[in-house]
A and B are shown apart, each in its own frame.
Chain A
Amino acid sequence: MKKRILIAAGAIGVFLGLFGSWVTYEGLHRTSDDKFCIVCHEMAPMVSAYHTDPHGGQGESGFKASCVSCHMPHDNVFNYIYTKAKNGVVEGAIHFFGDVDAIDWHANRKNRDKFVYDDGCISCHSNYKTNAFISPKGQQMHTHYDALLGTDKQIGCASCHVEVGHMGLRTVLNYYKPEYEYYEGKFDAEKEAVEKGLIEAFKKGE
């Protein structure tokens, strides 16, 4: 009798474990792309610029990195889930209760080292030091990057690759929020085109 109970408990345990893993995996997977993230995150210009970038599916291979590929830490699964949950709550609160117009996107770009995670970049670009397509100067800079790792001068991929993943980001941001008054009201048509493009892209499931 005891044996039966043990086996039943074990089977239920295995089932719950597998089910829990599956739910977690599906949950994380389905909440990782631009179509989901943009529901709460204020990032229409970022997503628009992403759609014109190789990382947004415009490369020769058509490969598309998801938002979390670059904007979540990949060092361990707990940190990943914690960061994702924290961002979800914070961004959701800003979206529903905060002052969205007060967000200074141009200033935030200066913090790109903080929200672009190198381990995400390197998980795909693992050959960043040996890739023969990288120019000699690029290779020299990557060696420099490596030399600074772990020091107080450490830099990140986004330190140099300023618009990586979002081609023409500064331009699209200006369509939404001009850096200078001089441009105010001059980009209405461009902004409208961006919004329309996003709706179409999401309709097509891009």
Chain B
Amino acid sequence: MSGGKTLAIAGVFLVLGVMSLIGGESDSPLKPIVITPELKEEFPLKSHHAKLSFECTFCHVGQGDDPKEFTYIGDEGCLSCHQSKEHMAERLAFMDKLHVNPHNSIHDGPTLYCDECHNEHKPSTNMCTECHEHDIDLWMRPTP
């Protein structure tokens, strides 16, 4: 084999190699996130979600594979499982009778952002308490 031919073949392999590397980089699957005890402590899950053995990326869709870089998933993320705000309001329809349904409040209807009250990795805070500090315990349990 002549030196020129060898060089050409080597060149083709080099180009193909580089191409596969570039392609491989863009399509590389995300590293699976190992949920260590430290990670669990830093980002605890609600008990009802923990019971379902959720993986981080079930909620943090398209946010890579570094939990420290994850951001809020927005209403859309929550509702990808929980259907709609109207559906959530309907599940507590009995509370409408006394106008205390937090998902269909007399002030805002079913329009609040999920994270006005619900947090996943830290304790939730109920927005109703801002005004109804003293009577909220009567008609509502702690916010899940």
Contact = CB atoms under 8 A, between A and B. Distances in A.
Interface of A: 135, 137, 140-141, 144, 148, 153, 155, 159-160, 163, 168, 170-171, 174-175, 178-183, 186-187, 190
Given A159-B51, A182-B139, A168 B91 contact: yes
Contact of A186 (B53, B55, B91, B98): B98
Q: Main secondary structure on chain B at its contact with chain A? A: helix
Nearest to A175: B94
Contact of B93 (A140, A159, A171, A180): A171
Contact of B80 (A135, A170, A181): A135
Given A153-B53, A170-B91, A190-B97, 5 more contacts: A137-B81, A144-B53, A168-B91, A175-B94, A180-B138
Interface of B: 51-55, 58, 80-81, 90-94, 97-98, 138-141
Nearest to A169: B91
Contacts of B53: 144, 148, 153, 155
Contact of A187 (B52, B90, B94): B94
A150 B91 CA distance: 31
B97 A187 contact: yes
A159 B139 contact: no
Contacts of B98: 182-183, 186
A163 B97 contact: no
A43 B23 CA distance: 60
A175 B98 CA distance: 13
A137 B80 contact: yes
A168 B81 contact: no
A74 to B, nearest CB: 24
Contacts of A187: 94, 97
Contacts of A135: 80
B79 to A, nearest CB: 9
Contacts of A190: 94, 97
Contacts of A181: 138
24 contacts: A141-B58, A141-B81, A144-B52, A144-B53, A144-B55, A155-B51, A155-B53, A159-B52, A160-B52, A163-B91, A168-B90, A168-B93, A170-B91, A171-B93, A179-B141, A180-B138, A180-B140, A180-B141, A181-B138, A182-B138, A183-B98, A183-B139, A190-B94, A190-B97
B92 A170 contact: yes
A49 to B, nearest CB: 11
Contacts of A174: 94
